[in-house]
Chain A
Amino acid sequence: MEKIKSLDDLRKKRQELESQLRLREKSNAPESLVQIKVAMATCGIAAGARAVMNTLIERTAAEALPVIVTQTGCMGYCHSEPTVEVHLPGKEAVVFGRVDARKAIDIIEKYIKRGELLDGIIPQNYERI
């Protein structure tokens, strides 16, 4: 095991390790974070949702964005899979359809970082109780 020889060593080690637990820390306070849900039902997976999810997770983790990515079941938009729901804090959730890896990056760069809307938004057609 690597020795921690100084206070700086401990600080550095902590920074290196922090990302391992970031996912768990985030789930303690999801309200204050951008919540991304990827629909991962059979149709979503068949249409490539797994690659989209991986892109979203890797990209947001690499840039340490305050984002929490979870998977969810079928959202009912089978015509536009893969679908991704993005919930910015304090705003209405927005659902993007036909997302691929490139569009996933667009969602991060444009919508999440700058609040610009993209093409392919699916109007919410139901209310949750």
Chain B
Amino acid sequence: MAIYKIHLLVCGGTGCRASESAAVVESLRASLTAAGLSDEAQVVATGCFGFCEQGPIVKVMPDNTFYTGVTPADAAEIVAEHVLKGRQVARLLYTDPQHKTPVSDAKQMGFYRKQLRVALRNCGFIDPENIDEYIARDGYAALATVLSDYSPRAAIDVVKRSGLRGRGGGGFPTGLKWEIACGRQADRKYVVCNADEGDPGAFMDRSILEGDPHSILEAMMICGYCIGADRGLIYIRAEYPLAIHRLEVAIGQARACGLLGADIMGTGFDFDIELRYGAGAFVCGEETALIRSMEGRRGEPTVKPPYPAESGYRGQPTNVNNVETFANIPVIFLKGADWFAGIGSERSKGTKVFALAGKINNVGLIEVPMGITLREVIFEIGGGIKDGKRFKAVQTGGPSGGCLTEKHLDTPIDFDTLLAAGSMMGSGGMIVMDEDDCMVSIAKFYLEFTVDESCGKCAPCRIGNKRLYEVLRKITLGHGTADDLEYMRNLSTVIKDTALCGLGQTSPNPVLSTLDNFRSEYEAHIFDHKCPAGQCKALKHYFILPEKCTGCTACARSCAVNAIVGERRQAHSIIQNKCIRCGACIEKCKFEAIQVN
């Protein structure tokens, strides 16, 4: 077996593949072959490195060189310089934006310094389509330990002691969930992996499945052993083709090795896993709706109780966990419950994966210990706000969460502190907003999403959210009235208290938290007919300063709706009810005579 001297790890996640990383792999291999070095250097397509902002990423091991924005055309130079002569290609190195210096060792990057990768331990490290690399990283060793050394009850106890809580959003203790399912008597039980990741801007689960699919299979088997199930189902949205492909490859390899199927590793334990595809409805991330969708019925939630642990898929006891929750399971058995419980905060143990998006310099995927502050995440790991703008808010928990502001920057992030601050952990989306974002429009955006995604089964969500959206729309159009704010608050409370499932119960959160934190912005829209961030078009007012206007007619000729009138060489004016606020006139005026407020 050849010993490779250099490993070139190329990101094969969806983000980097969209910018030709698959072609980078091909051309690196071709360049190595041409240079006669294909026995010395290995090219591996891995999962996501997290630094999606500057993909495609190529990481060279063992010297930890981190190349960003690599194109297929750069492959020849990397091979000729780095692989052959040991010289880094300086122009491709990541450049520290603060000091403007290239960083030669990935460990020195601010983006990675505060991260702790537990769930993402193999993402960007192994080839997800090669079971051997997973096994070399202690893959399936946790399953082997559990099957040989633990009774189901003892294994559940380990999960309980670790303090792991569900990463899908609710934060329910995982060990307890398993214990409930374990205690039910039934002919057949099911383990379900919830891979229906639907928050706008979130891609944690997708990246884990793309980068380390075997860890999910292994964890589902451990769960199956604990609760007494022999069937596993992964509910994944069809719009994740790469994750589906990698899961299919992983399941095929595990079956071929005898790690999935009957009598696994000679222990008498049987388990098999199948995929179920979702059509991409947000509500199907709710476990009862997910189960109905898997049964081939309409994806609508049902009243709890009965909980899935009592009566789930086909009426049998079913344990549903999210992808990231499962990804933590093998590590807990390999490193011990105490090790895991030693990470994180008092009541939220371990780490959390977040997808950073929005107006932040380092858009990407990060994993940090629970209890880290928002300031560390946004300004140290995230590299601060784009274009030197001012931080305004961050939305955590997607459409179910709320926005957090400057005053929350030093709050440690965990399940309980986020709830107390009026938001929630959710599945881990983090959308950062700057001074140019209008918070009323943001609330409207999330409500529009909820209205689209509501299944319509219960009235509070179906009708209430629609009304809430209409009021928000009215305010952004400048027709808000003084009692709208109280009306929205009351309606929100009613929806939260009466909606059937988690979707409806949390959907007013973006409204409530923006009302709490940015009330003055709502008031500016309603009373002053102004949008402080300048986003709401309807509230913009264009006018011409007569003392500056030379009457050149350039603006009038550029106006598509003939809203500008005036004689040649005379001051012009804008007819307000005709103006569509497109801004074309401002661009044409050479005398700064046109103003907006």
Contact = CB atoms under 8 A, between A and B. Distances in A.
Given A1-B253, A6-B266, A27 B135 contact: no
A10 B135 contact: yes
Nearest to B86: A71
A27 B7 CA distance: 11
A44 B257 CA distance: 46
Interface in B234-258: 253, 256-258
A128 interface: no
A32 B85 CA distance: 25
A17 B132 contact: yes
A24 B7 contact: yes
B461 interface: no
Contacts of B84: 40, 45
Interface string A25-46: 0110010000000111110010
B254 to A, nearest CB: 10
A26 B136 contact: no
A5 B63 CA distance: 38
B560 interface: no
B148 interface: yes
Interface stretch (B138-146, B151-159, B514-522, B585-593): B138-146
A21 B122 CA distance: 12
Interface stretch (A53-61, A91-99, A100-108, A116-124): A53-61
Given A57-B3, A57-B5, A61-B3, A13 B85 contact: no
A27 B59 CA distance: 11
A24 B61 contact: yes
A26 B267 CA distance: 34
A4 B6 CA distance: 30
Interface in B33-69: 61-64
Nearest to A38: B86
Contacts, number: 100
B85 A70 contact: no
Interface string B108-137: 000000000000000001100001110111
Instruction: Among B3, B62, B87, B140, find the residue whose CB has the most chain A CB atoms closer than 10 A.
Output: B62
B265 A45 contact: no
Contact of B258 (A5, A18, A45, A61): A5
Contact of B147 (A7, A40, A72): A7
Contacts of B3: 19, 57-58, 61
Interface residues of A, number: 39
A3 to B, nearest CB: 4
Contact of B62 (A3, A30, A45): A30
A52 interface: no
A14 interface: yes
Given A6-B265, A14-B141, A70 B62 contact: yes
B4 interface: yes
B125 A24 contact: yes
A3 B258 CA distance: 5
Contact of B265 (A9, A58, A70, A71): A9
Contacts of B374: none
B259 interface: yes
A10 B62 contact: no
Given A10-B265, A14-B135, A14-B136, A73 B61 contact: no
Instruction: Among B84, B148, B253, find the residue whose CB has the most chain A CB atoms closer than 10 A.
Output: B84
A47 B126 CA distance: 35
B167 to A, nearest CB: 24
A68 B61 CA distance: 10
A2 interface: yes
Nearest to A72: B86
Contacts of B148: 7
Contacts of B7: 23-24
Interface in B86-122: 86-87
B66 to A, nearest CB: 11
A24 B125 CA distance: 8
B136 A41 contact: no
Contacts of B131: 1
9 contacts: A2-B257, A7-B144, A10-B135, A10-B140, A24-B62, A30-B64, A69-B62, A70-B86, A71-B86
Interface of A: 1-7, 9-11, 13-14, 17-21, 23-24, 26-27, 30, 38-42, 45, 53-54, 57-58, 61, 68-73
Interface of B: 1, 3-7, 9, 61-64, 84-87, 125-126, 131-133, 135-138, 140-141, 144, 147-148, 253, 256-259, 265-267
